[in-house]
Amino acid sequence: MTAAIDELLRILDLEKLEHNLYRGRSPQVEWQRVFGGQTIAQALVAAQRTVEPDRFVHSLHGYFMRPGDIKVPIIYEVDRIRDGGSFTTRRVLAIQHGQAIFSLEASFQVDEKGLEHQFALPDDVPPPEGLKTQRQLLETADRVPEAVRRFWARERPLELRPVNLQHYESRDKLPPRQNVWIRLAGPVPDDRALQSVLLAYLSDMTLLDTSTFAHGRGLFDPDIQAASLDHSMWFHRPHSLDGWLLYAQDSPSSSGSRGFSRGTLYARDGTLIASMAQEGLIRLKR
Protein backbone atom coordinates (compact mmCIF):
# COMPACT_ATOMS: atom_id res chain seq x y z
CA MET A 1 0.00 0.00 0.00
CA THR A 2 1.38 3.41 -0.97
CA ALA A 3 1.80 6.10 1.66
CA ALA A 4 -0.78 8.28 -0.12
CA ILE A 5 -3.45 5.57 -0.02
CA ASP A 6 -2.63 4.83 3.62
CA GLU A 7 -3.04 8.53 4.46
CA LEU A 8 -6.34 8.73 2.56
CA LEU A 9 -7.74 5.76 4.49
CA ARG A 10 -6.73 7.41 7.78
CA ILE A 11 -8.46 10.64 6.73
CA LEU A 12 -11.64 8.70 5.95
CA ASP A 13 -11.61 6.96 9.36
CA LEU A 14 -13.57 9.56 11.32
CA GLU A 15 -13.31 10.04 15.07
CA LYS A 16 -16.57 9.54 16.98
CA LEU A 17 -17.21 12.41 19.39
CA GLU A 18 -20.72 11.65 20.58
CA HIS A 19 -23.95 10.00 19.42
CA ASN A 20 -24.42 11.08 15.75
CA LEU A 21 -21.37 13.36 15.95
CA TYR A 22 -18.02 12.73 14.18
CA ARG A 23 -14.82 14.62 13.46
CA GLY A 24 -12.64 14.46 10.34
CA ARG A 25 -9.36 16.08 9.36
CA SER A 26 -7.75 17.15 6.08
CA PRO A 27 -4.30 16.45 4.63
CA GLN A 28 -1.94 19.37 5.21
CA VAL A 29 -1.08 20.36 1.65
CA GLU A 30 -0.42 23.62 -0.19
CA TRP A 31 -3.99 24.16 -1.28
CA GLN A 32 -6.46 26.89 -0.49
CA ARG A 33 -9.47 24.75 0.49
CA VAL A 34 -10.67 21.25 1.29
CA PHE A 35 -11.08 19.01 -1.76
CA GLY A 36 -14.81 18.54 -2.41
CA GLY A 37 -14.49 14.79 -2.90
CA GLN A 38 -13.00 14.51 0.60
CA THR A 39 -15.98 16.30 2.16
CA ILE A 40 -18.46 14.10 0.26
CA ALA A 41 -16.60 10.94 1.29
CA GLN A 42 -16.25 11.90 4.96
CA ALA A 43 -19.93 12.86 5.18
CA LEU A 44 -20.83 9.48 3.68
CA VAL A 45 -18.62 7.73 6.27
CA ALA A 46 -20.48 9.58 9.05
CA ALA A 47 -23.82 8.48 7.62
CA GLN A 48 -22.64 4.87 7.22
CA ARG A 49 -21.62 4.72 10.88
CA THR A 50 -25.31 5.07 11.83
CA VAL A 51 -26.72 2.52 9.35
CA GLU A 52 -27.13 -1.24 9.71
CA PRO A 53 -24.23 -3.08 7.98
CA ASP A 54 -26.54 -4.96 5.58
CA ARG A 55 -27.70 -1.68 3.97
CA PHE A 56 -25.53 -0.04 1.32
CA VAL A 57 -25.63 3.45 -0.17
CA HIS A 58 -27.45 3.67 -3.51
CA SER A 59 -27.61 7.45 -3.89
CA LEU A 60 -26.39 10.69 -2.36
CA HIS A 61 -27.02 14.37 -2.96
CA GLY A 62 -24.87 17.14 -1.53
CA TYR A 63 -24.60 20.93 -1.52
CA PHE A 64 -21.39 22.90 -1.01
CA MET A 65 -22.07 26.10 0.93
CA ARG A 66 -18.68 27.45 1.99
CA PRO A 67 -15.08 26.53 1.17
CA GLY A 68 -13.57 24.16 3.72
CA ASP A 69 -10.55 25.20 5.79
CA ILE A 70 -7.79 22.54 5.64
CA LYS A 71 -6.22 23.85 8.88
CA VAL A 72 -9.06 22.87 11.23
CA PRO A 73 -11.13 19.69 11.70
CA ILE A 74 -14.58 19.25 10.17
CA ILE A 75 -17.47 18.23 12.44
CA TYR A 76 -20.10 15.93 10.89
CA GLU A 77 -23.55 15.85 12.49
CA VAL A 78 -25.87 13.02 11.40
CA ASP A 79 -29.68 13.24 11.41
CA ARG A 80 -31.27 9.77 11.38
CA ILE A 81 -34.24 10.73 9.22
CA ARG A 82 -35.76 7.30 8.56
CA ASP A 83 -35.19 3.59 9.11
CA GLY A 84 -37.63 1.69 6.90
CA GLY A 85 -38.17 -1.93 6.01
CA SER A 86 -35.81 -1.79 3.00
CA PHE A 87 -34.43 1.77 2.89
CA THR A 88 -32.62 4.00 5.36
CA THR A 89 -32.22 7.78 4.93
CA ARG A 90 -29.65 10.01 6.59
CA ARG A 91 -28.86 13.72 6.48
CA VAL A 92 -25.36 14.95 7.37
CA LEU A 93 -24.23 18.50 8.09
CA ALA A 94 -20.52 19.37 7.87
CA ILE A 95 -19.51 22.26 10.17
CA GLN A 96 -16.41 24.45 10.52
CA HIS A 97 -15.98 27.65 12.56
CA GLY A 98 -19.59 27.26 13.74
CA GLN A 99 -21.00 27.37 10.19
CA ALA A 100 -22.29 24.78 7.75
CA ILE A 101 -19.92 24.20 4.83
CA PHE A 102 -21.63 21.15 3.24
CA SER A 103 -24.84 19.15 3.56
CA LEU A 104 -25.49 15.60 2.39
CA GLU A 105 -28.52 13.37 2.10
CA ALA A 106 -27.89 9.69 1.44
CA SER A 107 -30.18 6.69 0.99
CA PHE A 108 -29.24 3.11 1.82
CA GLN A 109 -30.93 -0.12 0.75
CA VAL A 110 -30.72 -3.83 1.48
CA ASP A 111 -29.58 -5.86 -1.55
CA GLU A 112 -32.52 -6.93 -3.73
CA LYS A 113 -32.88 -8.84 -7.01
CA GLY A 114 -34.73 -7.20 -9.91
CA LEU A 115 -34.66 -6.03 -13.53
CA GLU A 116 -31.21 -5.17 -14.87
CA HIS A 117 -29.78 -3.30 -17.86
CA GLN A 118 -26.98 -0.80 -18.47
CA PHE A 119 -25.39 1.34 -21.17
CA ALA A 120 -22.30 -0.22 -22.69
CA LEU A 121 -18.75 1.03 -22.23
CA PRO A 122 -18.02 3.85 -24.73
CA ASP A 123 -16.57 2.63 -28.03
CA ASP A 124 -13.05 3.28 -29.31
CA VAL A 125 -11.50 4.33 -26.01
CA PRO A 126 -7.76 3.51 -25.97
CA PRO A 127 -6.44 1.52 -22.99
CA PRO A 128 -4.72 3.44 -20.18
CA GLU A 129 -1.32 1.78 -20.48
CA GLY A 130 -0.17 3.93 -23.42
CA LEU A 131 -1.49 7.26 -22.13
CA LYS A 132 0.24 10.05 -20.24
CA THR A 133 -0.75 10.79 -16.65
CA GLN A 134 -2.51 14.03 -15.77
CA ARG A 135 0.60 15.04 -13.82
CA GLN A 136 2.74 14.72 -16.97
CA LEU A 137 0.23 16.74 -19.01
CA LEU A 138 0.03 19.54 -16.43
CA GLU A 139 3.83 19.81 -16.32
CA THR A 140 3.90 20.95 -19.94
CA ALA A 141 0.50 22.66 -20.22
CA ASP A 142 0.23 26.42 -20.62
CA ARG A 143 -1.47 28.69 -18.08
CA VAL A 144 -1.14 26.31 -15.13
CA PRO A 145 -0.17 28.20 -11.94
CA GLU A 146 3.00 27.06 -10.21
CA ALA A 147 1.07 26.19 -7.02
CA VAL A 148 -1.05 23.76 -9.05
CA ARG A 149 2.06 22.14 -10.55
CA ARG A 150 3.56 21.64 -7.08
CA PHE A 151 0.29 20.22 -5.78
CA TRP A 152 0.14 17.63 -8.58
CA ALA A 153 3.84 16.77 -8.22
CA ARG A 154 3.33 15.28 -4.74
CA GLU A 155 2.43 11.63 -4.22
CA ARG A 156 -1.30 11.17 -4.63
CA PRO A 157 -3.75 8.36 -3.82
CA LEU A 158 -5.17 8.42 -7.37
CA GLU A 159 -3.64 8.10 -10.82
CA LEU A 160 -5.45 9.77 -13.74
CA ARG A 161 -4.76 9.22 -17.44
CA PRO A 162 -6.91 11.43 -19.69
CA VAL A 163 -7.87 10.11 -23.12
CA ASN A 164 -8.65 13.55 -24.56
CA LEU A 165 -5.58 15.79 -24.60
CA GLN A 166 -6.58 18.83 -26.67
CA HIS A 167 -7.66 21.01 -23.73
CA TYR A 168 -4.23 20.53 -22.12
CA GLU A 169 -2.47 21.64 -25.32
CA SER A 170 -4.64 24.48 -26.64
CA ARG A 171 -7.45 26.91 -25.91
CA ASP A 172 -9.59 25.85 -28.88
CA LYS A 173 -13.32 25.51 -28.31
CA LEU A 174 -13.87 21.76 -28.02
CA PRO A 175 -16.84 19.41 -27.61
CA PRO A 176 -17.70 19.31 -23.89
CA ARG A 177 -16.86 15.63 -23.45
CA GLN A 178 -13.93 13.68 -22.07
CA ASN A 179 -12.89 10.18 -21.00
CA VAL A 180 -10.45 9.71 -18.14
CA TRP A 181 -8.92 6.46 -16.89
CA ILE A 182 -8.58 6.54 -13.11
CA ARG A 183 -7.35 4.10 -10.48
CA LEU A 184 -6.35 4.08 -6.85
CA ALA A 185 -2.60 4.01 -6.33
CA GLY A 186 -2.66 0.92 -4.13
CA PRO A 187 -4.80 -2.01 -2.98
CA VAL A 188 -8.21 -1.33 -1.44
CA PRO A 189 -9.53 -3.26 1.59
CA ASP A 190 -12.26 -5.81 0.88
CA ASP A 191 -14.95 -3.65 2.47
CA ARG A 192 -17.97 -2.70 0.36
CA ALA A 193 -18.91 0.33 2.47
CA LEU A 194 -15.34 1.70 2.24
CA GLN A 195 -15.26 1.03 -1.51
CA SER A 196 -18.40 3.18 -1.89
CA VAL A 197 -16.70 5.95 0.09
CA LEU A 198 -13.64 5.81 -2.18
CA LEU A 199 -15.90 6.00 -5.24
CA ALA A 200 -17.50 9.12 -3.78
CA TYR A 201 -14.03 10.60 -3.19
CA LEU A 202 -12.81 10.09 -6.76
CA SER A 203 -16.14 11.10 -8.36
CA ASP A 204 -15.30 14.79 -7.87
CA MET A 205 -12.14 14.48 -10.01
CA THR A 206 -12.15 16.40 -13.36
CA LEU A 207 -15.97 16.51 -13.58
CA LEU A 208 -16.36 20.29 -13.40
CA ASP A 209 -13.50 20.78 -15.90
CA THR A 210 -15.64 19.33 -18.69
CA SER A 211 -18.02 22.32 -18.63
CA THR A 212 -15.20 24.69 -19.67
CA PHE A 213 -14.17 22.88 -22.88
CA ALA A 214 -16.88 24.41 -25.10
CA HIS A 215 -15.53 27.88 -24.28
CA GLY A 216 -11.83 27.24 -24.83
CA ARG A 217 -11.21 27.84 -21.14
CA GLY A 218 -9.75 25.97 -18.17
CA LEU A 219 -10.39 25.95 -14.43
CA PHE A 220 -6.86 27.22 -13.80
CA ASP A 221 -7.26 30.34 -15.98
CA PRO A 222 -6.59 33.43 -13.83
CA ASP A 223 -9.87 35.08 -14.85
CA ILE A 224 -12.00 32.05 -13.88
CA GLN A 225 -13.54 31.59 -10.44
CA ALA A 226 -14.58 27.95 -10.10
CA ALA A 227 -16.14 25.92 -7.28
CA SER A 228 -18.45 22.94 -6.94
CA LEU A 229 -22.00 23.90 -5.96
CA ASP A 230 -23.72 20.53 -5.71
CA HIS A 231 -22.96 16.87 -6.38
CA SER A 232 -25.21 13.85 -6.87
CA MET A 233 -24.22 10.21 -7.22
CA TRP A 234 -25.94 6.89 -7.84
CA PHE A 235 -24.24 3.60 -6.96
CA HIS A 236 -25.38 0.92 -9.41
CA ARG A 237 -23.17 -2.10 -8.71
CA PRO A 238 -20.47 -2.92 -6.14
CA HIS A 239 -16.87 -3.18 -7.33
CA SER A 240 -13.56 -4.02 -5.68
CA LEU A 241 -11.78 -0.99 -7.25
CA ASP A 242 -8.78 -3.21 -7.93
CA GLY A 243 -7.95 -1.81 -11.37
CA TRP A 244 -8.54 0.94 -13.92
CA LEU A 245 -11.94 2.64 -14.12
CA LEU A 246 -13.15 4.69 -17.09
CA TYR A 247 -14.75 8.01 -16.11
CA ALA A 248 -16.85 9.10 -19.12
CA GLN A 249 -18.01 12.73 -18.80
CA ASP A 250 -20.04 15.30 -20.70
CA SER A 251 -21.45 18.77 -20.09
CA PRO A 252 -24.91 19.38 -21.62
CA SER A 253 -25.12 23.05 -20.58
CA SER A 254 -23.49 26.10 -19.04
CA SER A 255 -25.42 29.27 -18.16
CA GLY A 256 -25.78 31.83 -15.40
CA SER A 257 -22.07 31.47 -14.47
CA ARG A 258 -22.74 27.78 -13.77
CA GLY A 259 -21.53 24.68 -15.58
CA PHE A 260 -23.41 21.38 -15.50
CA SER A 261 -21.58 18.06 -15.99
CA ARG A 262 -22.50 14.37 -15.93
CA GLY A 263 -20.33 11.31 -15.50
CA THR A 264 -20.45 7.52 -15.60
CA LEU A 265 -17.85 5.21 -14.08
CA TYR A 266 -17.15 1.87 -15.77
CA ALA A 267 -14.94 -1.02 -14.73
CA ARG A 268 -12.39 -2.27 -17.25
CA ASP A 269 -14.70 -5.20 -18.14
CA GLY A 270 -17.54 -2.80 -19.06
CA THR A 271 -19.56 -3.02 -15.83
CA LEU A 272 -21.35 0.27 -15.11
CA ILE A 273 -20.52 1.01 -11.47
CA ALA A 274 -21.88 4.49 -10.76
CA SER A 275 -23.29 7.70 -12.28
CA MET A 276 -22.71 11.30 -11.22
CA ALA A 277 -24.04 14.80 -11.89
CA GLN A 278 -22.57 18.08 -10.72
CA GLU A 279 -23.19 21.79 -11.13
CA GLY A 280 -20.39 24.22 -10.39
CA LEU A 281 -19.62 27.91 -10.40
CA ILE A 282 -17.79 29.00 -13.58
CA ARG A 283 -17.60 32.75 -13.12
CA LEU A 284 -15.59 35.18 -15.24
CA LYS A 285 -13.77 37.59 -12.95
CA ARG A 286 -14.08 41.27 -13.75
pLDDT recorded at residue 156:
83
255-286 pLDDT tens trace: 999 999 999 999 999 999 999 999 999 999 87
pLDDT recorded at residue 30:
64
pLDDT recorded at residue 58:
98
Please report, rounded to a whole number, the percentage of residues in the chain having pLDDT higher than 90: 78
15-24 pLDDT tens trace: 999 999 999 9
- From the list 196, 211, 275, 278, the catalytic residue is 278
Query: Is residue 240's pLDDT more than 80?
Result: yes
Q: Is-contact 206 178, C-beta < 8 A?
A: yes
pLDDT recorded at residue 132:
85
pLDDT recorded at residue 269:
95
157-194 pLDDT tens trace: 999 999 988 877 778 899 999 999 999 988 999 999 99
Question: Residues 37-65: what's their mean pLDDT?
Answer: 98
How far, in Å, CA of 278 to CA of 260, rounded?
A: 6
How far, in Å, CA of 267 to CA of 261, rounded?
A: 20
Q: Is-contact 179 247, C-beta < 8 A?
A: yes
User: Could you give phi then psi for residue 249, rounded to 5 degrees?
Assistant: -130, 150
Rounded to 5°, angle at Cα 203 from 274 and 74: 125
Question: In sequence order, what are the beta bridge partners of 265?
Answer: 247, 274
Q: Is-contact 66 32, C-beta < 8 A?
A: no
Instruction: Determine whether 204 is an active site residue.
Output: yes
Query: Is residue 85's pLDDT more than 70?
Result: yes
Rg (CA), the chain: 18
Conformational region of residue 143, where left means phi above 0, alpha means psi within -120 to 50, and beta covers everything else: left
Beta strands 245-255 and 15-18: pairing type?
A: unpaired
Query: Is residue 78's pLDDT more than 80?
Result: yes
Domains of the chain, by residue range, sit at 3-112+131-284
pLDDT recorded at residue 86:
97
pLDDT recorded at residue 4:
87
Question: Residues 5-9: what's their mean pLDDT?
Answer: 93
Overall pTM > 0.85: yes
Nearest CA among 209, 260, 267, 263 for reference residue 237: 267
- From the list 228, 249, 261, 275, the catalytic residue is 228
How far, in Å, CA of 263 to CA of 70, rounded?
A: 27
139-159 pLDDT tens trace: 766 666 666 666 666 778 999
Instruction: Determine whether 32 is an active site residue.
Output: no
Beta strands 74-83 and 15-18: pairing type?
A: unpaired
How far, in Å, CA of 144 to CA of 222, rounded?
A: 9
- From the list 26, 195, 204, 249, the catalytic residue is 204
Fold of 3-112+131-284: Porin (2.40.160)
